Amino acid sequence: MDNATGATTQEIDAQNNAAQQLEGQNQSNDSQNTPPAEPDGKTGENSYNDLPEWAKRRMGELAAEKNAARERLAALEAAQSQVQQQQVQQSQAPAQNQGNVEELAMVYAQQIAEQRVQQQTFINAMNDIEQKAKAEFGQEYDRSISNLNLAGVGGNDFLQAIASVPNPEAVITFLGKSENVGDAIRIANLSPLQMGIELTKLSSKAVKSFSKQVSRTPPPMSEVGGGSSGTGGTVEPDPSDHQAWIAWRNKNKRR
């Protein structure tokens, strides 16, 4: 009886162990076949909040850089679109505008050419005046030019006016004399129109001044004859010519 009871107990325990092993295998299979549970919304928020501060800052920096890159790209696309629109507008401009530009360029080029011609004409005129003045007045002209330069006379307007008046070589030499430099300074400070008028008036005066200077040269003395009538009709020379005047005085004194 006791032996039968023990055997029965062992069989029950063996059956229980077999059932437990079978149940464990089933649970293991179920766990492998069952998909993982999806996390709820609270789990994501908790995972960001659980990040360290440096990670949160880095994520913010990355987001800011991404937004800045998007803004730069948008600005670049807008600029490129504007350039393309300008190119289209220029290509569609009427041909008349291009004709106007070419016409203005031709007018401007013609004006430059005329200015160069006028400048070269003025230079040639001044060179001609200098050559004539040197040939006619020599060192006196050089002294006049030096005096005018020291007085600050000789601007473009003054030279243009000199080149346009009659006998310019005589005028500039006359104004450069020490006694006339004051008039030269006064005339150089006038307007171009008044300057031309004053220099034109001065032209005849300058020519007369140099004509008198040439006429003062005494004529050669005639040979004194031996008779009493040889000295008759002799004209008194200019007192500024001391040698001629003294000879004339001595000649007439003997009479």
Residue pLDDT, tens place only, 153-194: 878 888 888 888 899 999 999 999 989 999 999 999 999 899
Structure tokens at 245: 């005047």
Domain membership of residue 108 (yes or no) is no
Helix (H) or strand (E) segment spanning residue 16: helix 2-33
Instruction: Please name the residue ranges forming H helices in 164-240.
Output: 168-175, 181-188, 192-215
Residue 45 counted as domain residue: no
Q: What is the pTM of this model?
A: 0.43
**3-state SS, residue 239:** coil
Residue located via tokens 């039968």: 4
The CA distance from 227 to 204, in Å, is 46
Domains: count for the chain: 1
Q: What is the mean pLDDT of residues 34-49?
A: 53
- The answer to whether residue 139 is domain-embedded is yes
**Of the ranges 56-70, 189-203, 226-240, which is most confident?**
189-203
Sorting pLDDT into bands at 50, 70 and 90, what band is 33?
A: very low
Which range of residues forms the domain containing residue 160? 115-214
Residue 186 in domain: yes
The answer to whether residue 12 is domain-embedded is no
Going by C-alpha positions, the residue among 216, 229, 227, 237 that lies closest to residue 248 is 237
Q: What is the mean pLDDT of residues 68-72?
A: 89
Q: For residue 249, which of 240, 238, 231, 236 has the smallest C-alpha distance?
A: 236
Kindly report the backbone phi and psi dihedral angles of residue 226, in degrees, each rounded to the nearest multiple of 5, phi listed first: -85, -20
- Alpha-carbon distance of 35 to 27, in angstroms, equals 14
Looking at the domain assignment, is residue 59 inside a domain?
Answer: no
